[in-house]
C-alpha cells in the first residue's frame, strides 16, 4: 500500500494509535535493554530505574488498549481492509515495503 494512500477517519485513528503503540514499546524495551547492559556484570536496577520501567510499561499498556479500541471502531469492511494492508506492510522486514 503506497505511503500516501489516505485512510478513512476511523482507520486513520487506528493507524495513529498503532504508531503510538510501537513508539511506547520501543521506549520500554530500549530502557530495559539499557538497564540489562548496565547490570550485566552484576548489581541490580535502582528504585528509580524500576519505577521508570513501570511507568513506561503502564504507558505502553494504555497505548495497546487505545489501539484495540480504535481497531474495534473500524467497522466498515473496506476501511478495515485498507488499514490491515497498511499494518501488514508496516510489519514487513525493512526494505520490503
Residues 5-24 have pLDDT tens digits of 689 999 999 999 999 999 99
Burial of 49 by CB count in 10 Å (0-12 exposed, 13-18 middle, 19+ buried)? middle
Asked if pLDDT for residue 92 goes beyond 70, the answer is no
Q: Out of 2-6, 22-26, 84-88, pick the least confident.
A: 2-6
Residues 24-59 have pLDDT tens digits of 999 999 999 999 999 998 989 999 999 999 999 999
Q: 2-9: long-range contacts (C-beta < 8 A, 24 or more apart)? A: 5/82, 5/86, 7/79, 7/82, 7/83, 7/86, 8/76, 8/79, 8/82
* pLDDT band at residue 82 using 50, 70 and 90 as cut-offs: very high
* pLDDT band at residue 3 using 50, 70 and 90 as cut-offs: low
Amino acid at each position: 500500500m503506497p505511503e500516501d494512500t489516505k485512510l478513512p477517519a476511523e482507520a486513520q485513528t487506528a493507524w495513529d494509535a498503532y504508531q503510538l503503540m510501537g513508539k511506547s514499546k520501543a521506549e520500554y524495551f530500549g530502557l530495559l535493554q539499557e538497564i540489562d547492559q548496565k547490570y550485566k556484570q552484576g548489581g541490580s536496577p535502582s528504585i528509580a530505574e524500576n519505577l521508570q520501567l513501570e511507568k513506561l510499561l503502564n504507558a505502553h499498556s494504555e497505548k495497546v488498549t487505545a489501539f484495540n479500541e480504535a481497531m474495534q471502531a473500524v467497522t466498515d469492511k473496506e476501511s478495515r481492509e485498507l488499514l490491515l494492508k497498511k499494518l501488514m506492510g508496516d510489519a514487513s522486514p525493512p526494505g520490503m515495503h
